Structure 1
Amino acid sequence: MKTLDDLSVDGKRVLVRVDFNVPLKDGEVADDTRIRAALPTLTELLGQGASLVLVSHLGRPQDREPEFSLRPVAGRLSELLGREVQLAPGVVGDQVTALANRLQPGDVLLLENVRYEPGETKNDPDLAGQLAALADAYVNDAFGAAHRAHASTEGVAHKLPHAAGRLLEREVKTLTAIIEDPAKPLVAVVGGAKVTDKIAVIDRFLQVADTILIGGAMCFPFFKAQGHGVGSSLCEEEGIAPARDALAQAGTDGRAQLELPSDLVVADRFAAEAERRTLDGIDVPDGWMGLDVGPKTAQRYAEAIAGAGTVFWNGPMGAFELEPFAAGTRAVAEAVADAPGTTVVGGGDSAAAIQQFGLAEGVTHLSTGGGASLELLEGKKLPGVEALS
Structure 2
Amino acid sequence: MSLEGIRSVRDLPVEGRRVFVRVDFNVPLEGGKVGDDTRIRAAIPTLRHLLERGARVVVASHLGRPKGAPDPKYSMEPAAQKLAELMGVEVLLADDCVGDGPRKVVQDLREGQIACLENLRFHAEEEKNDAQFAAELAKLGDVYVNDAFGAAHRAHASVAALPKQIRDRGAGFLMEAELDALGKISKGEVQRPYVAVLGGAKVSDKLAVLEALLQKVDALIIGGAMANTFLAAKGASMGKSLVEQDKLALARTIMTRAGERKVDLLLPDDFVVGTGLDATSGRAALPDEIGAEEMALDIGPKSVEAFSKKLRGAKTVFWNGPMGLFENEAFAAGTRAIAKTMSELSGAFTVVGGGDSVAAVQETGLADKFGHVSTGGGASLELLEGRKLPGVDALR
Aligned to 1:357: 364
Matched, 1:16 2:21: yes
DSSP 3-state at the match of 2:125: coil
5 Å-filtered alignment, 1:310-349, equals 310-340=316-346, 341-349=348-356
Aligned to 2:3: none
Instruction: Give the aligned residue type for 1:26.
Output: G
Aligned to 1:73: 79
Structure 1 residue 241: Cα displacement: 3.1
Structure 1 residue 255: Cα displacement: 4.5
State the distance in 1 between where 2:218 and 2:140 align.
49
State the distance in 2 between where 1:370 and 1:356 align.
17
Instruction: Give the aligned residue type for 2:232.
Output: K
Matched, 1:213 2:218: no
Matched, 1:124 2:130: yes
Structure 1 residue 281: Cα displacement: 3.6
DSSP 3-state at the match of 1:119: helix
Conservation of the 8 A alpha-carbon contact between 2:19 and 2:57: yes
Structure 1 residue 280: Cα displacement: 2.9
Deviating more after overlay: 110-119 vs 23-32: 23-32
Deviating more after overlay: 300-309 vs 279-288: 279-288
Q: What whole-Å deviation, never above 9, does each CA across 1:281-301 have from its counterpart, x for those lacking one? A: 456331111001110001111
Task: Check 1:44–1:281 CA distance in 2 against 1; reply closer, same or farther (3 A cut).
Answer: same
State the distance in 1 between where 2:280 and 2:105 align.
54
Aligned to 2:107: 101
Instruction: Give the aligned residue type for 1:189.
Output: V
Conservation of the 8 A alpha-carbon contact between 1:267 and 1:289: yes
Name which of 212, 224, 240 aligns with 2:248. Answer: 240
Instruction: Give the aligned residue type for 1:353.
Output: A
Name which of 183, 204, 218 aligns with 2:212. Answer: 204
Instruction: Give the aligned residue type for 1:262.
Output: D
Structure 1 length-normalised TM: 0.97
State the distance in 1 between where 2:368 and 2:288 align.
34
Deviating more after overlay: 265-274 vs 285-294: 265-274
Structure 1 residue 106: Cα displacement: 2.9
DSSP 3-state at the match of 1:231: coil
Q: What whole-Å deviation, never above 9, does each CA across 1:69-102 have from its counterpart, x for those lacking one? A: 0101111111111110000001111111122122
Name which of 299, 305, 315 aligns with 2:311. Answer: 305
Aligned to 1:47: 52
DSSP 3-state at the match of 1:120: helix
DSSP 3-state at the match of 1:59: coil
Structure 1 residue 222: Cα displacement: 0.7
Matched, 1:58 2:66: no
Aligned to 1:290: 296
Q: Number of aligned pairs? A: 387
Name which of 42, 53, 61 aligns with 1:37. Answer: 42
Task: Check 1:3–1:239 CA distance in 2 against 1; reply closer, same or farther (3 A cut).
Answer: farther
Name which of 23, 26, 41 aligns with 2:31. Answer: 26
Aligned to 1:224: 232
Superposition CA RMSD, Å: 1.2
Structure 1 residue 256: Cα displacement: 2.0
DSSP 3-state at the match of 1:312: strand
Conservation of the 8 A alpha-carbon contact between 2:20 and 2:144: yes
Instruction: Give the aligned residue type for 2:112.
Output: G
Aligned to 1:263: 270
Task: Check 1:9–1:84 CA distance in 2 against 1; reply closer, same or farther (3 A cut).
Answer: same
Task: Check 1:239–1:64 CA distance in 2 against 1; reply closer, same or farther (3 A cut).
Answer: farther
Structure 1 residue 22: Cα displacement: 0.7
Q: Percent identity?
A: 50
Aligned to 2:375: 368
State the distance in 2 between where 1:270 and 1:145 align.
31
Instruction: Give the aligned residue type for 1:37.
Output: A
Q: What whole-Å deviation, never above 9, does each CA across 1:264-312 have from its counterpart, x for those lacking one? A: 11112222425x3211345633111100111000111111111110111
DSSP 3-state at the match of 2:273: strand
Name which of 160, 170, 182 aligns with 2:177. Answer: 170
Structure 1 residue 28: Cα displacement: 1.1
